[in-house]
Chains A and B, each alone.
Chain A
C-alpha cells in the first residue's frame, strides 16, 4: 500500500534538499532525515539524485538508508504508534501491552493498517524507564501505558 510516488516524483525537490545540506560535514544522514520529513518516506527514485550530488554510488546510499530503522521506503500510516519493547518496559508488562496493541490494531509490528490509518512499530527505549511501560504516538510520549490506554489510542487513530 502507500502512495504511488513514481508518477509525480519531484527530483528538483530532492536536489534542493541536498543543496541545503551539502556543505555539512557528513551530510547524508541530515539529507535522508530531511527527505523523509518532506515526503514522508525516502522513495527509491530519490536515491540516484542524492548519490549523484554526493558523488556516491546508488548502492552506497541504499546501504545507508537500509541500515537505519528510522528510514522508510513507503510512507507510514496517518498515525505512528511506537511501543517500547525493551527490558525496563518488559519488567512492567509491556509484552502483554504489545500483544494487546497487535490484536486491537489488527496488525503486526512494522505493519501499516490497510486503510492507512496507523503504523505500529517497536522501539527500543524512549528513556521513560522510570514510568514504564512507555509508548509514543505521533511523537508524543506516554508513560504507564495500560490496555485501556491502548484502546483509547486505537479509537483516536481510527477516527
Chain B
C-alpha cells in the first residue's frame, strides 16, 4: 500500500533543510523498497519544529520533527511509515497545543493540503465560497463582506466591504482587483505561507472580489524576495485556468475573471498601495497623493480594489459560512480572526491564527514561550518596521486595532518581533530612520530628508553630543514626519523611534565611552 508522506515545500521549512530531508526520504524508501508518495505541502506554521514531516496512517496523521537528514534512516527503522514511536514523534499534529488552540479560518487548509492540487482544495471545502458567490448578486456579495466586519489585514484596517462597494458603484469599462503581496514588513510571513501553502484560497478570494465589483482582471503584485511563492502561485493560477475556475466563464457563470502575477523589484515602499499601483504601471514606485482613491482612479486610472493577501484569502470562508460566522469571532470593532506571526528571538516562532483579543503578554510569553536565547524579553516590535516597540509594562494590551492605536502603536500586518535584554533600543531607533532613508520614495520632504537627519541626530546622541537637546530635536522631527509625510513610510517611522525613546529612556542616556569600550 502506498503511504503518503507530507514534507513542507514552504520556504521557511526549506530554509531549515526540508528539501534535503525530502530527498533523503525518497532515497531511503527506494533502498528499502517502501512504497511512498511524497507531497510537498505548506507549513503548519510551527517553525521551531520544521522540517516537520507527517505520515498519513490509518489512525490519521502522525508528525515527526524537527527532522534532519541524519534522522531519516532511524525513522524508517522505527517504522514511522505506520506511525511508529521515535524520539522525534509529535503524535497527531493537531493535538500540539500551539495548533490545537488556534482558530484557523483563513489558514484552515495550510499545511494540510497539496498546494497545487485543486482536487485536494475542493475536498477540504475549497471553492464553496465562490460557488455561493456565483449565484449571488454583486451587491449581496459586497453586503456579506461588509457584514462580516472584515478589515484590511495589510495594516490600515479599512473595512473591506466598503472599499468593494465604492468600486462596485463606479461605472467603467474595465475595473481591477489588485492583490498586495508585497509583504515587506520584517516579522511577517503570513502572505508567503498562504501563497506557498494554499494558493487557491487567494485565487478564490480574488475571483469573488471580481464578481462582487464587476472587475474582470486581477493582478498579484508579489515581491521578488519570494521566489517560491511566485512559482507556486503561477502554477496554481495555471491549474485554475485549466479547470475553469479562472477565465472567460468563472465556474461556468458566464462572468470573466483572470489573474496575473507581477513581480516586484525590491522596493519596500511598493507595499504602500498607490506606490504599488505606479510600480504595476511600470513607473517608479513613487507614492500618489490621495484623493483620488484607488477605488475611483487606481490602476491605469480605472476603479481598482486593492487588498492585502490575507484580506482576500479570508473572503472564501465568509462566503462559505456566512458573515455572522466570521463576525462572531473577535472583539470590539476588530472582527474575525487574525493570523499573528510570532518571530525574532522567540522560542516557539510561527503562525498563530486566532480571534482578536489575546493580550500581547499571552502571545509572547505563553504561546511564544519567551525568548529563544532564554534571556528576559526586553521589547517586542508589533507591526513591522513602522510599528512601535512595546515594553513588558504594556503586555496587557489586547490584540485589537483600536487598543493598539490607543497605546501609540499599530497591529499592522500582525507580525510580532521579540527582542531579548541584549537589544539596544537606541540602535533600533537609529535603524528605523536608516531603513526609512533607504526605502523612501523621495516624493515628500519630511520622509526623504527627515529620515536622513533623524539617523544623523541619533548618531550624535550615541556619541553623547548635546544629548538632551538632540533628543528634543528627534521628538520634534518625528512630529513633523508623522503629520507631514504623504504615506505611512515617513508617517509611521516615528512609531518605532518614539516608542523606543518613551519606553526605554535609559538606553538613550548611556555613557558613550562605556559603549565605545564594549
A70 touches B224 (CB 8 A): yes
Q: How far is the CA of A150 from the CA of B273 in the complex (A)?
A: 37
Consensus secondary structure, chain B interface: mixed
Residue in chain A with minimal CB distance to B385? A87
Residue in A26, A67, A70, A88 whose beta carbon sits within 8 Å of that of B280 in the complex: A26
A residues within 8 A CB of B263?
A: 29-30, 33
A63 proximity list for chain B (CB < 8 A):
284
Chain B 371-387, CB-CB to A under 8 Å as 1, else 0, gives: 01000000001000100
Contact: B16 with A87, CB < 8 Å?
A: no
Total number of A-B contacts with CB less than 8 angstroms? 154
Are A124 and B265 in contact, with the CB atoms below 8 A? Answer: no
For window 1-53 of chain B, which residues contact chain A by CB distance below 8 Å? 11-12, 14-16, 47-48, 50
Flag if B47 contacts A70 (CB, 8 Å).
no
Chain B residues 404-422 with CB under 8 Å of chain A are 415, 417-420
Q: Count chain B CB atoms within 10 A of each CB in A33, A87, A144 and give the residue with the most.
A: A87
Q: Which residues of B contact A87 (CB under 8 A)?
A: 186-187, 344, 381, 385, 417, 428, 431
Does residue A107 face the partner (Cβ distance < 8 Å to B)? no
Residue of B265, B267, B268, B439 with highest tally of chain A CB at under 10 A = B265
Instruction: Given the known inter-chain contacts A89-B186, A129-B187, please indicate yes or no for A64 contacting B428, CB distance below 8 A.
Output: no
State how many angstroms separate the Cβ of B11 from the closest Cβ of chain A.
Answer: 5
In the docked arrangement, what's the CA distance between A143 and B50, Å?
11
Answer yes or no: A113 CB below 8 A from chain B CBs.
Answer: no
B50 touches A127 (CB 8 A): no
Distance of B475 from chain A, by nearest CB (Å): 22
Which of B183, B285, B346, B417 has its CB near the most chain A CB atoms (within 10 A)? B417
A91 at the interface (CB under 8 A from B): yes
A90 to B282, CA, bound (A): 33
Q: A86-B186, A129-B188, A132-B344 are in contact. Are A30 and B262 (CB under 8 A)?
A: yes
Q: Cα distance A130–B12 when bound, in Å?
A: 8
- Cα A28 to Cα B420 in complex, Å, equals 44
Asked if A71 contacts B265 (CB within 8 A), the reply is yes
Which residues of the partner chain A approach B189 to less than 8 Å between Cβ atoms? 127-130
Task: Confirm or deny: A49 has a beta carbon within 8 angstroms of a beta carbon on chain B.
Answer: no
Q: How far is the CB of A121 from chain B (nearest CB, A)?
A: 9
Q: Is A125 an interface residue (CB 8 A)?
A: yes
CB distance from A155 to the nearest CB of B (A): 18
B329: CB under 8 A from chain A?
no
Range of interface residues on A (Cβ < 8 Å): 35 or more
- Chain B residues with Cβ below 8 Å from A89 are 186
Indicate if the CB atoms of A129 and B285 lie closer than 8 Å: no
Given the known inter-chain contacts A130-B12, A134-B15, please indicate yes or no for A125 contacting B225, CB distance below 8 A. Answer: yes
Q: Is the beta-carbon distance between B344 and A92 smaller than 8 angstroms? A: yes
Contacts of B191 in A (CB 8 A): 127
Determine whether the beta carbon of B285 is less than 8 Å from that of A143. Answer: no
B282 touches A128 (CB 8 A): no
| A130 & B186 in contact (Cβ 8 Å cutoff) | no
Contacts of B156 in A (CB 8 A): none
Chain B residues closer than 8 Å to A123, beta-carbon distance: 225, 266
Q: Are B11 and A88 in contact (CB under 8 A)?
A: no
* Interface residue ranges, B against A (CB under 8 Å): 11-12, 14-16, 47-48, 50, 183-189, 191-192, 217, 224-228, 262-268, 279-286, 299-300, 341-346, 349-351, 372, 381, 385, 415, 417-420, 423, 428, 431, 435, 438-439, 441
